[in-house]
Amino acid sequence: MAKAKRETSSAVADPAGAPEWTELLRQMILIRRFEEATEREFRKGKIGGYLHVYIGQEAAASGIISALDEGDIVFCGYRDHAQALALGSDPNKVMAELFGKGTGVSKGKGGSMHLFDVEHGLYGGYGIVGGHLTLAAGAAYALRYQDTERIAVCYFGDGAMNIGSFHEAMNMAGLWGHQGMCPIIFIIENNGYAMGTSVERHSALTDLSARVRAYAIPTERVDGQDIFAVREVADRVVQQVRETGKPFCIEVNTYRFSGHGAADLLQPYRPKEEVEKHRQRDPINILRERLSEAVSDDDVKAMDEWAIDVAAKAVRFAEESPQPEPHELFEDVVAEHQPRPVRESEHE
């Protein structure tokens, strides 16, 4: 389950007396260092398949998820490591999952795109752009159907807004919201690009929030590099959605500093100057400056060393972990009537 919320942002508006903001700074630094480690391990060939890191967008994960209560649930796309860490997943198990090890959060069967940690409220990383939006809307219905106060959060990128399931999910969420049966916060992680296609080139209407409002879902846009701003909106919206059972959408304007995926090295779709310009608004530095009175340079250095150490330990744990047992190939396909091996002799 998500960690129980300690304080609201208004209660911690004064950074000097704000242990929670310090904690969020530490979390964002951990996400950054963890993601850097995954990129290194990908280049070494220790992590296979696809790898999409969250560097530059950390405030979108930490700012929203820190506003949630225990029992709230999160769905996201394939750029999902940060959400797992923000929800409290064990970094060792997340790294082991990326390494394809049996100790991973999903026993090594999901990998980077399909992190899953139900115990901490993470109902998946999904690899088909926009596909998970309908799942999240249904999950929100189920939470309210079962008379709980829990809410769902669904992250997706600007690139997910052009596929049919986005529109079907929004419309059904809007309809169910009329009856107070869809407590969900949709988070548009608008980082300006659907892979390499800019918003101007992929969306006929570049006001992305307006497209959500077309389904009777209210929206709010926020500077996604400033976690104070993100958290302030999140606190209000979480409370509102929990009380009303109606969906809400937050458009978080952010930017990914790394490539789309670990293999996106050349990035011909955006000039280097653009990336440099956005790097000047690093969400970690912005928070750090806001906390300058409460958190010294030495404090930050200590946090950074801690984060580097946690990431390094996670890599070591992943490396030393065993591969999944061969019999795992056939486990978890279905609950009953597990398929028989085609090559029986290899699996005796």
Q: How far apart are CA 30 and CA 283, in angstroms?
A: 13
Single residue of 162, 171, 197, 267 touching another protein by CB under 8 A: 171
Contact flag: residue 175 with another protein (CB under 8 A): yes
Q: How far is CA 40 from CA 44, 259, 346, in A?
A: 6, 14, 34
As given in the structure block, the two tokens for residue 159 are 């690139």
Phi then psi for residue 343, to 5 deg, are -105, 80
Q: How far is CA 50 from CA 130, 235, 304, in A?
A: 18, 33, 27
Contact flag: residue 120 with another protein (CB under 8 A): no
* Of 105 and 250, CB closest to another protein: 105
Q: How far apart are CA 84 and CA 105, in angstroms?
A: 10
Per-residue binding string, another protein, 70-89, x by CB under 8 A, is: ---x-x--------------
Least gap, CB of 335 to another protein (angstroms): 4
Of 88, 227, 87, 93, the closest CA to residue 152 belongs to 87
Contact flag: residue 105 with another protein (CB under 8 A): yes
Contact flag: residue 211 with another protein (CB under 8 A): no
* Of 114 and 270, CB closest to another protein: 114
Q: How far apart are CA 268 and CA 286, in angstroms?
A: 28
Per-residue binding string, another protein, 228-257, x by CB under 8 A, is: ------------------------------
Q: Which residues pair with 251 in a beta bridge?
A: 188, 221
Single residue of 12, 30, 139, 187 touching another protein by CB under 8 A: 139
Name the residues that contact another protein, by CB under 8 A: 73, 75, 104-111, 114, 116-118, 123-124, 126, 128, 131-143, 145-146, 164-165, 168-169, 171-172, 175, 179, 181, 331-337, 339
